[in-house]
């Protein structure tokens, strides 16, 4: 702001000093009379020079911005294109091989060998297993980094399904095909073997359903199976699957293993699968055991044996039971996330039509500050513009003094002219300071308002809204408020004042000028109206074209590894090019309209100047100084009128950004505060017991969604450990989200320690409940920041908790860096850090949504011991598919299609006569002879 004010003030001062210097030389040094023909010619020339100087200053600023942008682009493009080895920078050589040929993969950043001469069965099923952070995913990524070691050419595609599935915005079919040709028979076979048929039958558009951004309109299991279907449908000979069956219920798991992983679609293909599941290990042709970033051992077990590694690294084999076969009808998964039809319109303002009223302009100006501030700003702005008329008027008085041949000393006139010029510069500087400070305050406040409402948005809005829309608001729209909007508003205000002063002055000198001025002003306004009507629609189209661009970039960046694996760069490039073409077409429309306006405004300039000249000449009584002043002001009036029409249209276009931000703030659905308008002040230590009562709960994800929970009744007493189990899509996660008011309660009640959660502020509610999700989020910074962002606890306490979850002292340090979303940690490590974060919070209620799903068995058993110790005074609600860990829980709740199918003590349910829901689920995992873990608390 200071630079802009200084540059404009200096520019105005230099122009005035140059004019003053010329007048001094002409009148005092040259002793020449200041005749009207001379003075007004000089004034017009210096006005042109001033305009050019202002443009040069503006161009210098834009050049500096362009230089910085080009430097940043250059540094980005100069970066190496090969993906690094994540946080395993201590490893130098990742050795892999096919059955016939030993393969060496060497990611550049690595420094120590993992193991040489590792063989995979080709074709066949190879399973990579190991504890958390042992390098399982790294091994798959190394194959992607140096694929030429696998296929002898780096251009051969590899099918890859990551642990966190990546889907792009499009239909389910688009995501499965991923640029390959459509073969109906093969496609249907893939859909069936991946257990997607029952899910597609629930969608109105079947496989043409829009998955939303990142697959947000699908449940977690559906996203995972669509990514798996993409890998299966591809023609790649090598298929890399990174724990893709994690979190599936037993029946769906068995169906996919029997009909997909080991089915005809994978025949004659090399499948490398990361998993710690015993049933997959039993069916593998090759097992690779990872430990501490190295391949500790490989094994080729018989079909009836499974290898287990003890602490000494020795492989033992034990007999296994047969794997069951299930029907596809048992694998149906409900849709327990917000789903929308393809034709549903998002809550976006990219496609607005019509003009933006004056109320938004006045509202923007009012946001500059209080009334006193705005009045002071208006006073100085009006005074500064008035001085632009006073200065040439004084020159007219000065030149008139020489009429009749009288000799007048110029000192008096020069002194007054100098004083007026200095006053004008001071008034301009003060008005600029006030205007820019007010605009900066308005931009800052709107940014904070928008940030607050986005953080407080409802869960359903977050899931259904593309990230590109929010990026568009915080980037291009906020950039308009920060820069272009005010730079357009200020000259509009100044030009309005300039035109008013010029018309009043010229009309007082040449009264007949009023008639042509009214006619030509009306013509200019009509042209401006036509321009505004068209430009507003085009600007809306232009602004809306930015959202697909931002979305395409962020979407592609998040899935680069998958894109490179399939060699599907062209698919994403075509999508991006289509977005760029749409954006360029919109920009061409804006540019063409500006040219259309310029031609017609130039015609108006000529007509107005010609009219004034004719009227001035026909008035014989008018003196030369009056005519010169009239022509000077009229020339400026023509320019100002053209400038005003253009700027008014541009302002309305730029106000689109403000309009969109205002509506974003006003219309974005919020969830902060109590639902019923009442606010119960809970005790400072609430909840003290952690008693949860759910009565007749029916919930969904918005008022028009299907009911994902139906008449659920459930209680968790103080310090109880409760497990929630059920098939995939049965509503387990929805029940947990209801406790946090992330799912919409339609009927029923939820109370915690006797307090209805709907009466609480949702921010306070969520501060008192700890959630460990299946896909935890870590923030850029350090481990300490992720555990205790407010720095409330001492380092010794945090390090102790970190050591407990890590299983070894100082495995991680508090100052260890965490990259965005924890991408330098494995999925299991992120879950461990999320568990540590929950331990730090010390809340009375802890929810684990598959919180240990990515851990190996030893780590999972150790973590459950830690959880029992750390959370012994807490009510723990655990959502899991691993039933062997919950036998010693106090209570188990079995859900099926959103309803309570069974609940009670897990041991009692297992020993009950008959085959209940829980007993059936347990037997599917562990066979007919349950082996409950003994209680350890």
CATH code for the domain of 146: 3.40.50.300
- Domain containing residue 555: 2-77+356-667
User: Would you say residue 93 lies in a domain?
Assistant: no
pLDDT given at position 138: 81
Same domain membership, residue 134 and residue 212: yes
Indicate the residue among 667, 691, 716 that finishes a domain. 667
DSSP 696-746: EEEEESSTTSPPSEEEEEEEE-TT-EEEEEESTTSSHHHHHHHHTT-SEEE
pLDDT at 337 exceeding the cut of 60: no
**Of 856 and 333, more confident:** 856
Band the pLDDT of 423: cuts 50, 70, 90: very high
Same domain membership, residue 529 and residue 461: yes
Tell me the CA end-to-end span of the chain in Å, nearest whole number: 65
**Residue 889, preceding peptide bond in cis (omega within 30° of 0):** no
pLDDT given at position 458: 79
pLDDT given at position 216: 76
Tell me the backbone φ, ψ of residue 717, rounded to 5 degrees: -80, 175
User: Would you say residue 341 lies in a domain?
Assistant: no
pLDDT at 126 exceeding the cut of 80: yes
Of 40-54, 178-192, 345-359, 491-505, minimum mean pLDDT range: 345-359
Same domain membership, residue 590 and residue 642: yes
pLDDT given at position 228: 92
User: Would you say residue 321 lies in a domain?
Assistant: yes
pLDDT given at position 302: 55
Indicate the residue among 331, 366, 386 that finishes a domain. 331
- The total of structural domains in the chain comes to 4
Q: Please list the alpha-helical segments (H only) found in 758-856.
A: 762-767, 783-787, 795-806, 827-841
Using CA of residue 899, residue 902, residue 903, residue 906, what is the dihedral sign? negative
What are the residues facing 723 on neighbouring strands? 878, 892
The answer to whether 907 and 738 have CB atoms below 8 angstroms apart is no
Q: What is the mean pLDDT of the segment spanning 60-88?
A: 73
DSSP 73-139: HHHHHTS--S---TT-TT--EEEEE-SSSEEEE--TT--SEEES-----SSEEEEEEESTTSSHHHH
| Angle, vertex CA 232, rays to CA 226 and CA 234, nearest 5 | 105
Distance CA 588, CA 726 (A): 56
Q: Is 904 left (phi over 0), alpha (psi -120 to 50) or beta?
A: left
Q: Domain of 36: which CATH number?
A: 1.20.1560.10
pLDDT at 56 exceeding the cut of 90: no
Buried b (16+ CB within 10 A) or exposed e, 376-398: ebbebbbbbbbbbbbbbbbbbeb
pLDDT given at position 678: 52
pLDDT at 465 exceeding the cut of 80: no
pLDDT at 315 exceeding the cut of 50: no
Buried b (16+ CB within 10 A) or exposed e, 835-853: bbbbbbeebbbbbbbbbbb
Query: Length of the chain, please?
Result: 937
Same domain membership, residue 250 and residue 223: yes
Assigned token pair, 607 = 């007509």
With a CB cutoff of 8 Å and minimum separation 6, the contacts of 37 are 624, 628
Q: Residue holding tokens 């009239």?
A: 630
Same domain membership, residue 598 and residue 480: yes
Distance CA 394, CA 397 (A): 5
Per-residue pLDDT of 809-861, as tens digits, reads 888 888 999 987 787 888 788 888 888 898 888 889 999 888 777 677 777 77
> What is the number of helices (H) and of strands (E) in the chain?
30, 23
Whole-number Cα distances in Å, 21 to 13, 15, 56, 122, 397: 12, 10, 22, 89, 19
Helix (H) or strand (E) holding 848: strand 845-849
Pairing mode, if any, of strands 744-752 and 692-700? antiparallel
Distance CA 492, CA 349 (A): 25
Buried b (16+ CB within 10 A) or exposed e, 403-428: eeeeeeebeebbeebeebbeebbbbb
User: Would you say residue 161 lies in a domain?
Assistant: yes
pLDDT given at position 619: 65
The answer to whether 468 and 554 have CB atoms below 8 angstroms apart is yes
Distance CA 635, CA 175 (A): 62
**Residue 641, preceding peptide bond in cis (omega within 30° of 0):** no
Same domain membership, residue 645 and residue 539: yes
pLDDT at 400 exceeding the cut of 60: yes
Same domain membership, residue 457 and residue 414: yes
Distance CA 415, CA 417 (A): 5
Same domain membership, residue 596 and residue 530: yes
Band the pLDDT of 558: cuts 50, 70, 90: confident
The answer to whether 486 and 565 have CB atoms below 8 angstroms apart is no
Q: Nearest to residue 854, comparing CAs of 888, 816, 875, 881?
A: 881
User: Would you say residue 88 lies in a domain?
Assistant: no
The rounded percent of the chain whose pLDDT value lies above 70 is 80
Q: Nearest to residue 571, comparing CAs of 237, 165, 930, 180?
A: 180
User: Would you say residue 337 lies in a domain?
Assistant: no
User: For the sheet containing 891-896, what is the strand order?
Assistant: 769-772, 845-849, 875-879, 721-726, 891-896, 899-904
Indicate the residue among 331, 365, 396 that finishes a domain. 331
Report the chain's mean pLDDT, rounded to a whole number. Answer: 77
pLDDT given at position 624: 64
Assigned token pair, 96 = 């892999």
Distance CA 233, CA 190 (A): 6
pLDDT at 49 exceeding the cut of 90: no
The rounded percent of the chain whose pLDDT value lies above 90 is 8
Q: Nearest to residue 753, comparing CAs of 737, 769, 738?
A: 769
Same domain membership, residue 849 and residue 838: no
pLDDT at 340 exceeding the cut of 90: no
Of 116-125, 194-203, 413-422, 590-599, minimum mean pLDDT range: 116-125
DSSP designation for 670: B
Same domain membership, residue 367 and residue 325: no
Whole-number Cα distances in Å, 873 to 76, 723, 851, 877, 878: 51, 17, 19, 13, 15
Distance CA 141, CA 240 (A): 9
Same domain membership, residue 640 and residue 690: no
Buried b (16+ CB within 10 A) or exposed e, 534-570: bbbbbbbbbbbbbbbbbbbebbbebbeebbbbbbbee
Helix (H) or strand (E) holding 200: helix 197-201
pLDDT given at position 88: 35
Same domain membership, residue 604 and residue 477: yes
pLDDT at 608 exceeding the cut of 80: no
Distance CA 491, CA 648 (A): 9
Q: What is the mean pLDDT of the segment spanning 144-159?
A: 60
Give the Cβ contact number of residue 132 at 10 Å.
Answer: 25
Using CA of residue 78, residue 82, residue 88, residue 93, what is the dihedral sign? negative
pLDDT given at position 85: 39
**Of 611 and 97, more confident:** 611
Band the pLDDT of 187: cuts 50, 70, 90: very high
With a CB cutoff of 8 Å and minimum separation 6, the contacts of 462 are none
């Amino acid at each position: 702001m200071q630079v802009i004010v200084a540059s404009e003030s200096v520019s105005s001062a230099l122009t005035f000093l140059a004019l003053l210097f010329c007048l001094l030389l002409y009148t005092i040094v040259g002793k020449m009379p200041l005749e009207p023909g001379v003075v007004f010619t000089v004034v017009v020339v210096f006005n042109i020079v001033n305009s050019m100087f202002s443009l040069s200053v503006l161009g210098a600023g834009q050049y500096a911005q362009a230089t910085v942008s080009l430097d940043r682009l250059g540094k980005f493009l100069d970066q190496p294109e090969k993906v690094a080895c994540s946080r395993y920078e201590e490893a130098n050589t990742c050795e892999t091989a096919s059955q016939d040929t030993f393969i060496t993969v060497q990611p550049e950043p690595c420094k120590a060998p993992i193991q040489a001469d590792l063989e995979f069965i080709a074709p066949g099923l190879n399973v990579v297993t190991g504890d958390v952070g042992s390098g399982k995913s790294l091994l798959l990524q190394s194959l992607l980094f140096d694929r030429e070691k696998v296929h002898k050419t780096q251009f051969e595609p590899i099918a890859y399904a990551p642990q966190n599935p990546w889907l792009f915005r499009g239909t389910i079919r688009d995501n499965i095909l991923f640029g390959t040709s459509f073969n109906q028979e093969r496609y249907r076979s893939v859909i069936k073997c991946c257990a997607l048929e029952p899910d597609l039958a629930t969608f109105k558009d079947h496989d043409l359903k829009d998955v939303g951004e990142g697959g947000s309109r699908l449940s977690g299991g559906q996203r995972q199976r669509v990514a798996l279907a993409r890998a299966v449908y591809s023609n790649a000979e090598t298929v890399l699957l990174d724990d893709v069956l994690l979190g599936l219920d037993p029946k769906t798991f068995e169906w996919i293993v029997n009909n997909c992983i080991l089915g005809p679609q994978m025949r004659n293909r090399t499948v490398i699968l990361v998993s710690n599941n015993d049933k997959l290990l039993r069916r593998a042709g090759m097992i690779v055991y990872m430990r501490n970033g190295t391949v500790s051992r490989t094994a080729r077990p018989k079909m009836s044996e499974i290898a287990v590694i003890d602490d000494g690294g020795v492989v033992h084999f034990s007999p296994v039971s047969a794997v069951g076969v299930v029907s596809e009808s048992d694998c149906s998964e409900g849709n327990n996330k917000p789903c929308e039809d393809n034709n549903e319109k998002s809550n976006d303002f990219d496609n607005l039509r019509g003009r933006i009223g004056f109320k938004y302009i006045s509202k923007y100006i009012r946001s500059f500050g209080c009334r006193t501030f705005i009045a002071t700003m208006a006073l100085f702005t009006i005074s500064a513009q008035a001085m632009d008329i006073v200065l040439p008027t004084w020159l007219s008085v000065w030149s008139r003094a020489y009429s009749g041949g009288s000799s007048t000393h110029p000192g008096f006139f020069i002194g007054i002219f100098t004083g007026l010029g200095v006053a004008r510069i001071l008034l301009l500087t003060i008005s600029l300071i006030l205007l820019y400070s007010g605009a900066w305050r308005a931009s800052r406040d709107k940014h904070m308002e928008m940030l607050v409402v986005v953080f407080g948005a409802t869960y359903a809005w977050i899931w259904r809204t593309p990230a590109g829309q929010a990026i568009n608001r915080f980037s291009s729209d906020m950039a308009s408020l920060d820069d272009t909007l005010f730079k357009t508003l200020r000259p509009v205000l100044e030009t309005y004042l300039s035109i008013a002063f010029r018309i009043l002055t010229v009309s007082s000198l040449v009264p007949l000028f009023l008639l042509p001025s009214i006619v030509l002003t009306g013509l200019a306004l009509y042209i401006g109206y036509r321009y505004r009507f068209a430009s507003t629609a085009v600007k809306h189209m232009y602004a809306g074209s930015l959202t697909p661009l931002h979305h395409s970039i962020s979407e592609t960046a998040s899935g680069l590894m998958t894109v490179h694996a399939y060699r599907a760069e062209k698919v994403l490039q075509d999508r991006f090019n289509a977005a760029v073409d749409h954006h360029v077409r919109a920009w061409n429309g804006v540019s063409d309209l500006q040219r259309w306006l310029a031609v017609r405004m130039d015609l108006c300039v000529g007509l107005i100047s010609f009219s004034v000249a004719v009227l001035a000449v026909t008035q014989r009584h008018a003196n030369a100084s009056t005519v010169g002043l009239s022509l000077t002001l009229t020339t400026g009036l023509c320019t100002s009128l053209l400038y005003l029409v253009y700027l008014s249209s541009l302002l309305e276009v730029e106000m689109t950004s403000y309009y969109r931000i205002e509506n974003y703030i006003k219309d974005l659905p919020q969830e902060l505060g109590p639902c019923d308008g009442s606010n119960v002040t809970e005790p400072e230590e609430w909840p003290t017991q952690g008693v949860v009562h759910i009565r007749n709960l029916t919930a969904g994800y918005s008022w028009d969604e299907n009911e994902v929970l139906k008449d659920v009744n459930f209680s968790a007493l103080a310090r109880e450990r409760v497990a929630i189990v059920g098939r995939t899509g049965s509503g387990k996660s929805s029940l947990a989200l209801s406790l946090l008011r992330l799912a919409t309660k339609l009927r029923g009640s939820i109370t915690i320690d006797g307090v209805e959660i709907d009466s609480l502020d949702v921010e306070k509610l969520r501060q008192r409940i700890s959630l460990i999700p299946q896909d935890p989020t870590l923030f850029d910074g350090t481990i300490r920041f992720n555990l205790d962002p407010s720095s409330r606890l001492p380092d010794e306490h945090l390090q102790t908790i970190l050591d407990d979850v890590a299983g070894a002292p100082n495995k991680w340090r508090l100052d260890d860096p965490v990259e965005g979303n924890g991408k330098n940690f494995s999925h299991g490590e992120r879950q461990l850090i999320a568990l540590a974060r929950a331990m730090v919070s010390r809340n009375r209620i802890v929810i684990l949504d598959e919180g240990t799903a990515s851990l190996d068995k030893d780590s999972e058993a150790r973590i459950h011991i830690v959880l029992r110790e750390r959370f012994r005074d807490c009510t723990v609600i655990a959502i899991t598919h691993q039933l062997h860990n919950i036998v010693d829980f106090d209570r188990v709740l079995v859900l099926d299609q959103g309803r309570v199918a069974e609940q009670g003590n897990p041991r009692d349910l297992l020993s009950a006569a008959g085959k209940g829901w829980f007993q059936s689920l347990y037997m599917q995992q562990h066979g007919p002879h349950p082996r409950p873990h003994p209680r350890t608390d």
